[in-house]
Amino acid sequence: MTPLKKLLLEEISENGPMPLADYMARALGDPTHGYYMQRRPFGQAGEDGGDFMTAPEVSQMFGELIGAWLADLWLRMGQPKPFCLAELGPGRGTLMADILRAADVLPDFAAAVQVHFVETSAALRAAQKQLVPQAIWHDTLDTLPAMPTLIIGNEFFDALPIQQYKKQPDGWSPVMVSADNDNLVFADGKSQAAVFSDALAACLPDAMAHGAIVEYAPMVEAVMHTAAQHIATHGGAALLIDYGHAAPACGDSFQAMRGHGFVDPLAEPGLADLTAHVNFPLLAHIAETAGLTAAPLAEQGRFLEALGLSLRAQQLMQLSPGREVDIQTECHRLAAPQEMGSLFKVLGVAHKDMPVLAGFLPEEM
């Protein structure tokens, strides 16, 4: 039994069942035993391998293309100096390191950029410092500097806690985590009448059957709201990449990964990565409510192709003979519909005065 499971079983026997969101927050972020606080989550399957591979860890091309996207946007928005480039949940720092290397072709960009990281894990902050020593770290977005800001986030929102509610004849019952001897188990909490934020209520499907599950993530909404307000006040844009729903949807998307496979999310809190699908219509709705413009949601594969994935792959193959097959495999993983290409979506939102964001135009979709 993991130390955190023991602790949670004790707490439940004292205080009763805990809401799923509290369980998820503890399993990922408990200061001593939380998943992101102690494990090295990302990496190839194998001996010391992590639990899952994120796009920047699959290939340098992912960060390079986003670096070119950022450099182009910065030029077209009037080259603000200085400007803030903020990343949410930077993991090992790989994405930002690749972005900065690619953007180095524009010396003025390199001179103007201030890199800010929003990261709660001390272990991951240390890893990020190795790759991006000049970064400035924050616990939340509230302390980002007052200047034009480009925000990026890859697989950040899926790691924030969600609370599930199950539709009942008399309202919505929260999904709780309870104890059955030495096991953590799901249980239904007492039904409540109104539980969702206005933003989520506006993005729910029209009709839902009894027993339908809705996932409510107040922290996701709060972070998106702060990001949107910051951009509305100081100018800029955000590029948010994650896997999730493209249309209003309900259903259970809570899942756990360990060693590159799915596992029971209640079996080993602290040792498995817990995630949920991101509700993109909701993120776009929050941005638009704050006065930003949202580009039509793009699938990751199409977005990367629009940014020149195939061209970059050809260049790399010429530069590194012998790596052709690897590079082709990397392209396939990032962009093929049966790999990350369709499940992962790209949301671009921007201040109303910003130029059109590249990669999202309907003719490029």
- Rule CB under 6 A: which residues touch ligand SAH? 36, 42, 54, 56-57, 89-91, 95, 118-121, 124, 154-156, 159-160
The secondary structure element, H or E, covering residue 32 is none
Q: Nearer Cβ to ligand SAH, position 160 or 217?
A: 160
Provide the minimum distance between the beta carbon of 91 and ligand SAH in the complex, in angstroms, as a whole number: 3
The secondary structure element, H or E, covering residue 213 is strand 213-216
Question: Do the Cβ atoms of 210 and 168 come closer than 8 Å?
Answer: yes
Provide the minimum distance between the beta carbon of 29 and ligand SAH in the complex, in angstroms, as a whole number: 6
Q: What is the DSSP annotation of 231-272? A: HHHH-EEEEEEEEEESS---S---EEEETTEEE-TTTSTTTS
Cα separation, 152 vs 236, whole angstroms = 11
Provide the minimum distance between the beta carbon of 340 and ligand SAH in the complex, in angstroms, as a whole number: 11
Q: Which amino acid is at 265?
A: P
Helix axes 324-335, 309-319, angle to 10 degrees: 160
Provide the minimum distance between the beta carbon of 124 and ligand SAH in the complex, in angstroms, as a whole number: 5
Residue 355 gets which letter from DSSP?
P
Provide the minimum distance between the beta carbon of 142 and ligand SAH in the complex, in angstroms, as a whole number: 11
Residue 158 gets which letter from DSSP?
G
Residue 181 gets which letter from DSSP?
T
CB-nearest residue to ligand SAH: 89
Question: Do the Cβ atoms of 103 and 67 come closer than 8 Å?
Answer: yes
Q: Nearer Cβ to ligand SAH, position 119 or 268?
A: 119
Provide the minimum distance between the beta carbon of 349 and ligand SAH in the complex, in angstroms, as a whole number: 18
